[in-house]
Amino acid sequence: MVSLPPDGLSDLFAVLVQQGWRLVGPTVSNGAIIYDEIQSPDDLPTGWTDHQAPGQYTLEKRDDKRSFGYVVGPQSWKKELFLPHEVVQTSSLNNGTFHWHGANPKPAPTAFIGVRACDLSAIGIQDRVFLEDTYVDPHYQARRNATLIIAVNCTEAGALCFCDSMGTGPQAGPGYDLCLTEFDDCFLVESGSDRGEAIAAQLPATSAKPAQQAALTTAIDDCRQQMGRTLNTDGLPELLFGNLEHPQWDAVGDACLACGNCTLVCPTCFCHAIDETPDLASGPAVRERSWDSCFSEEHSHIHGWSFQPSIKDRYRQWATHKLSSWHSQFGTSGCVGCGRCIAWCPVGIDITEQVAAIQNSPAEPAPLPGFKPITWHERKDPLQAASARIQHIQQETHDVATLKLHMPDDYCDQPGQFNMLALPGIGEVPISVSGNDGKTTEHTVRNVGNVTAAITSLSVGDALGVRGPYGSAWPLDKMPGRPVTLIAGGIGLAPLRGVIRHLVSQTRDPATEWVSVIYGARDQSALLFSNELKQWSTNPAVKVAVTLDRASANWRGNVGTVTTLLQRKHQPDHGIYLMCGPEVMMAAVTRQLSTDGVPPENIYLSMERNMKCATGHCGRCQYGPHFICKDGPVFSYAQIRPLFGKPGF
Amino acid sequence: MLTNQQLKKYSFFKPLTDERAEAIIASAKTTNIPADTEVLREGQQADNLYLVLEGRLSLAMYVPGRPPEKSIVSTISRGELLGWSALLPGRMWQATARTLKPTRLLVINGAELRALCDRDHETGYSVMKHVLAVVGQRLTESRLQLLDMFAHPDD
């Protein structure tokens, strides 16, 4: 540790400029301290401090000349690493081939000056999301690799600070290159990396005296005592997961305006939208990623309805994600205790008060799925699509078509997984794989929106963009030696077709390994794969039963729902049950199987939610602690039972 | 006539003792009905309870102007009960039942079964429990159909 005179900041800036760093640091703008490009210590908010309260933030003059005498402003470093708007790719269709151009980010090397302990922790949390999960985001990665971090310890806490409760501050943890602590008569400087060491060596600094080191410890301890807020994190993830029906969510839902400010100022929130913009001059279409909020209606919206229709649902999603399910997903809390969400909430909702209200009258905690560290990282751009040509189109019904695609040579999938299908300028949608013969892959698409309308109107020979496969598969390894029952509703037969074909191709003992396919559809005209349904039942171990909601002329089969067909026979508890269809159907079926004594680990469901990236980054498909895109879409009922059928998730 | 062993395959008879099952079928008979035959008609006196031993029947409600095959609300197959209204005195059929394929039915006289249930509450409780499950199942089915869960989002 070395000691730098107050005017030594100029020397630090000079060294950084000389090394070629772009400098971003705190500066006063429009009545707030923001992070912006700065040139010299003159740009710092010297002599200013911020006064914060729920729904309030004002700047006030200090009595001294401290440059870092404030806490945190509305911005975090998120805006520098995970940009508010960013073109992630361009794509075009030329001569019948889909061309994909990933952005090749070459960010200017940037020094972050004045990174608070809480914000340093937040950078670490976003690193976990974008760099240390299954898929690595190359845009974030390029900027993160070009970042130098100069942290500043907090010696004064704000009225809304609770970093001490979250274990993220006030002393900056590892991850910085240099760390400053500001005193009236000096800066104490610590190095956290070789780069930092080299910079410190060029400064007019002297070794810190023991008294100065003691002063640092005292200042940090004093700061801990000043924390304006506290949050009891003891057992909190499980407590919140067990209190999803707590009346406090209704109370806060009544107050919340769903403006999304809290998510924008939060240094860890990573949910985003991806929008496809066509070029009217026939140039490449642009795919842009923008910050989005789980408070927007569109966030959980999927062809026609929203899974989180009320504001209560969205606040609960946000708060339980931050403090509870984030632990399952990333092995850490998603809250660093910076207090920004409290200051910038227009109605002053205080997350620490909300948690305390639940802690005051809690229901029992509920176990959360444990965090499983990712050991495999996909290094290529996760948004990179390949061109696939349509070999054959089968019009299944008036609004459903099966596209047989010739896929890239290295492509392979498992039944139950899905691909993202894209058309430049129109958009991208997740579509389950409905068949794979080793050479071609089938997708059965229902026209329910703009993108699926465009995809279902393509012709043989046309190309489209494909990336995948993504997600979990049906548990084929659990099917030998026991009966398998597959329950499909409507388009839900498509994700099951691959596994049915697999079972039908086997020689199975009809007495012990029978396969029962129970398929419900709206009416006769909506039946998928009609010829194949008949073929399947030629295997002596396979029985196919079809039922319709509505009869029509010449229909001699069942009328009613899959639940009626299912209850005709007692369902063995050692059987494996797979289902895909409307959630209301799957809920009725799981209830019936549970009544029959089938354990939840023998029941598998394929789930659907809004999805933009399929790589666990856009945050939209969250289902409590799970991401539908990478933990699902196939889940065992045992995994999702606490949430399944609950409104608002 | 059906043996006790055969009867016990059907969930209606399963919980009953042999004596009680025999008491129910003492006056019951089986009947074979060809396809496309009306078995009971909406609005008529609900006289018999049927157990489907083989085949399939449709249940339809008359909607003026609508072809009968488009007013089928449900089908009933092997092992299922048809005509639970016969368990309540004075009831009339709520729907018309027609065979969709050759069908074999066990016909149980409603009045006799009601009298038996009144005399022996063990039998009555078992029968009513089964019928409650059947009615509940049909209610669930009707609700799911009512929701039109496979409808296009624009519908």
Q: What is the ipTM score, two decimals?
A: 0.92
Q: Which residues of A touch B74 (CB under 8 A)?
A: 559-560, 564
A51 beta partners: A58
A295 beta partners: none
Query: What's the pLDDT score for residue B70?
Result: 87
Structural domains in chain A plus CATH codes: 2-225 (no CATH), 236-360 (no CATH), 386-470 (2.40.30.10), 476-606 (3.40.50.80)
For A578-627, the pLDDT digits (tens) are: 999 999 999 999 999 999 999 999 999 999 999 899 988 999 999 999 99
Residue A377 has pLDDT above 70, yes or no: no
Reported pTM: 0.92
Do the chains contact at A561 and B78, CB–CB below 8 Å?
no
Residue that has been written with the tokens 């809920």 in this structure: A587
pLDDT (average), residues A363-374: 88
Residue that has been written with the tokens 């710092």 in this structure: A44
Task: Spell out the domain ranges in chain B.
Answer: 4-147
CB-based contact A612:A427 (threshold 8 Å): no
B36 touches chain A (CB under 8 A): no
CB-based contact A426:A458 (threshold 8 Å): no
A221 HSE (CA, 13 A, CB side): 6
In CATH terms, B4-147 corresponds, of 3.40.50.1220, 3.40.50.300, 3.30.1550.10, 2.60.120.10, to 2.60.120.10
- CA nearest to B151 within chain A: A522
For chain A, positions 489-508, list CB contacts with chain B under 8 A: 489-490
Give the helix/strand (H/E) hosting A32: strand A32-37
Residue A462, token pair as written in the block:
């046309």
For A436-477, the pLDDT digits (tens) are: 998 899 999 999 999 999 999 999 999 999 999 999 999 999
For residue B20, is it left (φ>0), alpha (ψ between -120 and 50) or beta? alpha
pLDDT tier at A375 (50, 70, 90 boundaries)?
low
Low-confidence ranges of chain B (pLDDT < 50): none
Do the chains contact at A553 and B67, CB–CB below 8 Å?
yes
What is the Cα–Cα distance from B12 to B128, expressed in whole angstroms?
Answer: 10
Do the chains contact at B77 and A558, CB–CB below 8 Å?
yes
Q: Counting every residue, how long is chain A?
A: 649
Q: Which residues of B touch A557 (CB under 8 A)?
A: 75, 100
Do the chains contact at A584 and B149, CB–CB below 8 Å?
yes
Query: At a CB cut-off of 8 Å and minimum separation 6, what does B58 contact?
Result: A551, A559, B72, B74, B75, B76, B97, B98, B100
pLDDT (average), residues A232-251: 97
Percent pLDDT > 70 in chain A is 99
Q: Which residues of B touch A554 (CB under 8 A)?
A: 69
A254 beta partners: none
For B53-65, the pLDDT digits (tens) are: 999 999 999 999 9
pLDDT (average), residues A317-325: 97
Give the helix/strand (H/E) hosting B18: helix B18-25
Query: What's the pLDDT score for residue A55?
Result: 97
